[in-house]
Structure 1
Amino acid sequence: MYSKLPKKRYKYTLEFLQKHLPAPAVILDLGVRNPFSEIMEENGYTVYNTKGEDLDVLPQIVKDYKVDAVTAFEIFEHLLAPFNVLREIETSKIITTVPLKLWFSDAYRSKTDMWDRHYHEFEDWQYDWLLEKSGWNIKDTEKWTSPVNKIGIRPILRNYVPRYYAVYAEKVIKK
């Protein structure tokens, strides 16, 4: 079933999640149910997903869930204003991944799906700043590459240039 999934990305994402939020734990995973939701459940997590609501328009829906942490795996690059959702999250922990901006490749844009596009592809410092400005204290980060089985300069560069950025952060407690 999982033969066509991005195994390296899912492996590293799961390891990063387990490092900062060991199972069992209850998670709100931003975005619709997906293969990684199933992987998290297979590894002892209880997972709720948003249902496809436009998080730019309805960022407050994250308040409808009482969970141990929020995860957002490759979701914030699709939002016009991820700051708004990040500010609305009430749980104290967030674990996220975003694709990094690659100097040798344009931002991703599906030609067939108007929603499957990247409004943002971040540099790590930009994403850190977004999290900090929206009330999060970054505790740990990791990066990894995304090799592809193609021939050419860009596929070779993907073996060496990090494509994904994972962040574990905790909510800043206001005094």
Structure 2
Amino acid sequence: MNSIDKLSHNWLMKRALNSAVARHLHLLQGRVYDFGCGTMPYEADILERAEEYVGVDWSNTLHGTRCELVADLNSPLPIPSESADAIVSFEVLEHLCEPLNMLREANRILRPGGVILITVPFQWWVHESPWDYFRYTRFGLDYLLRKAGFEDVCVEETTGFWEMWVLKLNYQSLRLIKGPRLLRKLIRAILVPLWWVSQTTAGIVSSRWASPNETAGYVVVGRKPGQAT
């Protein structure tokens, strides 16, 4: 899972992603491909349930990688058809200029009955530019997965409004940390308690004041038609 640093401005997002992935780990088995694996934060968790984990990423990743397969997810992949039991892709789809190509390749690579598990941002800042192309609504995600050949598509929010709003505010406040080193340390010392309080209380408020169409992102599950062997 993603490591959580309670002094950071965005630990709430990492906790939300960890929770979203953990809820669906029971679906993963056999051989699992991680599309856009980066530093593979979920490898150990997946291998508690699956037999094999294969990381796939491209050479331009900004996060560093130790993947087994280097490939462009926008293009046909050098992976045999019906060779995977599950495919995961965490916070990657927005960085693909041809997302439908990746989803269709995932469907080809999965065995019948195989599962795809995706997380993707919705109301989130532009990041890893210039490779940040899209934001998806729940309806767009459902459409794309079904168009790629998946069924039983389920889309869930990863946060509520208040978590999303606090995270956006905290990212904006990072811009205040500038100037000489001593001043930067002072500003950070002031912001860290505010970050901690805001992120700690946001989930509590959201649980009592729901806004289902306001979220930082989504977690999506789809299944390839057919019977798993």
Normalising by structure 2, report the TM-score. Answer: 0.58
Contact 2:33–2:53, Cα closer than 8 Å, also in 1: yes
CA RMSD of aligned residues (A): 3.3
Which of the two has higher C-alpha Rg? 2
Residue 135 (structure 1) aligns with: 149
What do the CA deviations read for 1:85-115 (whole angstroms, capped 9, x no partner)?
A: 2112221321111112x3xx6x5234xx644
What do the CA deviations read for 1:108-128 (whole angstroms, capped 9, x no partner)?
A: 234xx644xx21110110111
**In the alignment, does 2:31 pair up with 1:9?**
no
Deviation at 1:17, TM superposition (A): 2.7
Structure-2 separation of matches of 1:88 and 1:76: 13
Q: Using the aligned pairs only, state the percent identity.
A: 24
Contact 2:103–2:145, Cα closer than 8 Å, also in 1: yes
Matched residue of 2:120: which SS?
A: strand
Structure-2 separation of matches of 1:51 and 1:64: 19
- 5+ residue gaps, structure 1, are none
Which has the larger share of helix?
2
Residue 88 (structure 2) aligns with: 71
Normalising by structure 1, report the TM-score. Answer: 0.73
**In the alignment, does 2:31 pair up with 1:26?**
yes
Distance verdict in 2 for CA 1:149–1:61, change over 3 Å: same
> Which of 73, 77, 94 is residue 55 of structure 1 equivalent to?
73
Deviation at 1:66, TM superposition (A): 2.4
Deviation at 1:151, TM superposition (A): 5.3
Structure-1 separation of matches of 2:78 and 2:148: 17
Matched residue of 2:135: which SS?
A: coil
Deviation at 1:7, TM superposition (A): 2.2
- 5+ residue gaps, structure 2, are 6-10, 59-70, 173-197
Structure-1 separation of matches of 2:168 and 2:135: 22
Structure-2 separation of matches of 1:169 and 1:59: 20
Contact 2:142–2:155, Cα closer than 8 Å, also in 1: no
